[in-house]
């Protein structure tokens, strides 16, 4: 600790020498006097006040670490999809079987230094249970959403109950609800093939003033097949966007045009590490890569072309429903995950093997961890 006297001497030296140095170079005499005065006052106030605010140092350290932490958080969110795949022929490869059984797939986050710094790791059942303890999760949408729901249940359930889920959840086109007793997690799967159905759902939450903690939605494939009209899809997305925005306490529509970030959301944990809070965490399940030649009906191959897929994508981005365009939903990018896993990860060019949805789930769980300021 430097004593007040030493500080005073130091201050005096600075007051005299700095302006003299400056004068010697490029400041006029008047400016020098002004600088001298300003420096003197600043230092005097500093010297006199420091004893009363011993925590100034702590404060400065806290502010800078918050800034670093916020930057790191945003950077880690943007690297969540940096995933690499390993797809290898399985030991009992049989040319008559399909890709699902003939190739083993596994994924991992890339080992680049930026990604390693984020410390992503696959979550085990315990971590996931801890994170989702006491929360209400709603997954709504088409078959892609159903696969995401299934991968979540595969992570938190034992194999016995999981088999029953597999049977029930795969009844075509129906809703499904389960409460996982041990962690008090409730999961609803809502069959909602069209974006219109999702808007309806979100408006229902709003009406009842009862929101899930995590809401994961996705649609588009059904619309592409049955309406084949990208601009209509865009119109539906915009109404879903306004409905979703109104679920959040601070919205891009009421404030400036800045994106809704996690720091806008109060995180009031109920369980030990749970994500349940007052406003929902919202995710969008993107459409998968479509491999046209593998689609299983003539109608699909005709309507769900690469060009049409591109137009639907453009509408998704133009609708500003996604976080990166200033909207409320964080994208789970099934397209990039499925593209990188590749043609050996699908049998019908549209539904991919479970590891693809498992990767999407882990990305979502890590986003929840990052947003609720938690570390593993």
Ligand X SMILES: *[C@@H]1O[C@H](CO)[C@@H](O)[C@H](O)[C@H]1NC(C)=O
The residues that touch ligand X, with contacts defined as CB under 6 A, are: 97-98, 100-101, 129-130, 133-134, 182-183, 191-192, 194, 196-197, 229, 231-232, 235, 271-272, 347-348
Residue with smaller CB distance to ligand X, 12 or 376? 376
DSSP 263: G
Residue with smaller CB distance to ligand X, 100 or 305? 100
Question: CB–CB of 131/275 below 8 Å?
Answer: yes
Tabulate helix, strand, coil % of the chain (nearest 5).
Answer: 55, 15, 30
Beta strands in 121-166 (DSSP E): 136-141
Q: How far is CA 238 from the centre of its chain?
A: 20
CB of 269 to ligand X, least distance (A): 9
Cβ neighbours of 193 (radius 10 Å): 19
Residue with smaller CB distance to ligand X, 62 or 270? 270
Question: CB–CB of 252/327 below 8 Å?
Answer: yes
CA dist 53 and 51 (Å) reads 6
> What CA dihedral angle connects 126, 141, 181 and 374, to 10 degrees?
40
Residue with smaller CB distance to ligand X, 80 or 150? 150
CB of 272 to ligand X, least distance (A): 5
113 contact partners, CB below 8 Å, separation of at least 6: none
Residue with smaller CB distance to ligand X, 39 or 235? 235
Residue with smaller CB distance to ligand X, 90 or 110? 90
Crossing angle for the helix pair 125-132 and 354-371, nearest 10 degrees?
50
Strands 83-89 and 103-109: antiparallel
Distances (CA, A) of 27 to 16, 22, 31, 43, 169: 14, 6, 6, 21, 77
Residue with smaller CB distance to ligand X, 129 or 151? 129
Residue with smaller CB distance to ligand X, 110 or 242? 242
CA dist 346 and 99 (Å) reads 6
DSSP 133: T
Local structure of 96: helix, strand or coil: coil
Cβ neighbours of 366 (radius 10 Å): 23
Residue with smaller CB distance to ligand X, 82 or 232? 232
CA dist 278 and 268 (Å) reads 7
CB of 136 to ligand X, least distance (A): 14
Q: What are the φ/ψ torsions at residue 372 (nearest 5 degrees)?
A: -100, 20
Residue of closest CB approach to ligand X: 232
Residue with smaller CB distance to ligand X, 100 or 292? 100
User: Closest Cα to residue 214, out of 73, 325, 81, 361?
Assistant: 361
CB of 285 to ligand X, least distance (A): 17
CA dist 112 and 115 (Å) reads 5
């Amino acid at each position: 600790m430097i004593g007040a006297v030493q500080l005073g001497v130091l201050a005096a030296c600075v007051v005299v020498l700095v302006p003299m140095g400056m004068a010697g170079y490029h400041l006029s005499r008047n400016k020098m006097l002004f600088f001298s005065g300003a420096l003197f006052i600043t230092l005097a106030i500093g010297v006199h006040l420091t004893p009363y605010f011993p925590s100034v140092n702590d404060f400065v350290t806290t502010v800078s670490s918050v800034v670093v932490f916020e930057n790191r958080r945003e950077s880690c969110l943007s690297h969540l999809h940096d995933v690499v795949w390993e797809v290898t022929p399985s030991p009992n490869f049989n040319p008559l079987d399909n890709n699902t059984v003939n190739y083993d797939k596994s994924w991992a986050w890339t080992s680049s230094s930026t990604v390693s710094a984020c410390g992503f790791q696959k979550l085990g059942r315990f971590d996931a249970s801890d994170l989702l303890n006491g929360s209400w999760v709603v997954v709504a949408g088409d078959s892609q959403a159903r696969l995401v729901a299934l991968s979540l249940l595969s992570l938190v359930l034992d194999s016995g109950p999981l088999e029953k889920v597999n049977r029930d959840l795969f009844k075509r086109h129906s809703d499904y609800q389960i409460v996982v007793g041990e962690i008090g997690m409730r999961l609803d799967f809502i069959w909602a093939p069209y974006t219109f159905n999702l808007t309806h759902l979100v408006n229902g939450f709003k009406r009842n003033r009862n929101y899930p903690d995590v809401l994961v939605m996705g649609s588009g494939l059904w619309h592409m097949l049955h309406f084949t009209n990208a601009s209509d899809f865009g119109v539906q997305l915009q109404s879903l966007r306004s409905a979703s925005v109104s679920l959040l306490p601070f919205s891009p529509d009421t404030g400036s045009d800045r994106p809704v970030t996690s720091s806008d959301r109060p995180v009031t944990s109920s369980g030990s590490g749970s994500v349940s809070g007052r406003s929902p965490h919202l995710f969008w399940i993107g459409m998968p890569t479509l491999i046209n030649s593998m689609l299983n009906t003539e109608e699909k191959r005709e309507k769900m072309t690469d060009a049409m897929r591109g137009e639907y994508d453009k509408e998704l981005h133009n609708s500003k429903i996604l976080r990166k365009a200033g909207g409320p939903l964080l994208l789970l990018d099934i397209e990039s995950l499925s593209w990188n896993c590749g043609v050996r990860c699908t049998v019908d060019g549209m539904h991919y093997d479970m590891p693809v949805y498992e990767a999407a789930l882990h990305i979502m769980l890590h986003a929840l961890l990052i947003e609720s300021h938690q570390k593993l």
